Amino acid sequence: MTMKVNIYYGGRGLIDDPTIFVMNKIMSVLDELNIKVKKYNLYEDKRGISILPKTLKEADAVILAASVEWMGIGGLLWQFLDSCFLYGDKERIKTLYMMPVVVSTTYGEKDAQFTMIKAWEMLGGIPCDGICAYVNDPVTFETSSEYGYLVEKKTEDFYRAFSKKLNSFPSSSLAVREKVLRPKTINLTPQESEQLSVYVSNDSYVKQQKEDIQELTQMFKQMMGDSSESATVIEAEETEPYLEDFRRVFNPIPNMALTFSWAIKGFEKQLIIEVDGEELNCYYGEKDSVDVAIKSTKQVIEKVIYGEMPLQASFMAGDLTAKGNFRVLHTFDMMFRFRKR
């Protein structure tokens, strides 16, 4: 059975990052040893880091790769290690050998390596001897046959450690972990922790929970007799419908500025939706210059708001007409994630 090694890279993916060269060299050596390697670039999916601990189940060993650009191992690797502590299967981590790879273009590579080793011990895993280097000139480093040979030897030593399940000397971190370092949360099974990590990474789920809490708060206010406030809300919804629906599900996209006008049959004024990054402005009125001008019946806009059919799908089906930049119709569905009621 082919053994597997997962690499978790916490750098920014810069083309001149010498850590990338070291990882490629390691992957080449492991490939020659018939080891299947899977590399996870943490910068590619920052929101998905919390669910990455479940990928440890498929690995026989792991490599944590850090690029030290000014201080420490960087926030992405810290986030991954935090997720391993909160959501990872600790029994599985106890069996995993870890090789730290730290390449620094400034001072602090040894401190960063020590941090990764200490963190992995606290998680219960087995740290191995790794690669720790300071690189002043990436070109010289990458073209040096001596440095390449050292990377190969370190990788081969790591292979011997996890393939033969070599024992390591006991560490005081074990006693600290068992007596002190315990997450202050309810006891969850590995499966429940994994599912929780999925919920945490799902922005829509988190946002929906907040909306549900707000709705419950409003409901209790009404039950306590706050009739004046509730009457104001109802009156506003009757005279200017749909505004609160858009505000409730708004999912801002950084640096995105778009304006939509929606002419609804039977309505005297158009529904104007202005988005500028984190800011949303919805109102009824007129606006000459918009990115997309939409026309539909009341039934069609309610299908969109009630989550029965996205805007782009409604346009493709011919249920509404639109003028302007059709490419942003998909963006509209990303910014306003309506759920089926």
Domain boundaries, the chain: 4-197, 202-239, 240-335
Contact between residue 135 and residue 141 where contact means Cβ atoms under 8 Å apart: yes
Global confidence as pTM: 0.60
Phi–psi pair at 13, nearest 5 degrees: 80, 20
**119 vs 72: CA distance, rounded Å:** 13
- The answer on pLDDT for 272 being more than 80 is yes
pLDDT for the residue 198: 63
**What span, in angstroms and rounded, lies between the C-alpha atoms of 282 and 243?**
6
Rg of the chain over Cα atoms, rounded to whole angstroms, equals: 27
User: Which whole number is the average pLDDT over 15-30?
Assistant: 96
Cβ atoms 40, 9 nearer than 8 A: yes
Q: Beta strands of the chain (E only): which ranges?
A: 4-9, 36-41, 61-68, 97-104, 126-127, 131-134, 257-264, 270-276, 279-285, 292-296, 321-324
Q: Which residue has the tokens 């963190």?
A: 119
For 240-335, the fitting CATH number among 3.30.70.380, 3.40.50.1860, 3.30.1050.10, 3.30.70.260 is: 3.30.1050.10
CATH T-level assignment (fold) for domain 4-197: Rossmann fold (3.40.50)
Would the pLDDT of 124 be above 70?
yes
Bridge pairing between strands 97-104 and 131-134:
parallel
pLDDT value at 226 more than 60: no
pLDDT at 281 over 60: yes
Mean pLDDT across 99-125: 95
Average pLDDT of every residue of the chain:
86
Average pLDDT over residues 62-67: 98
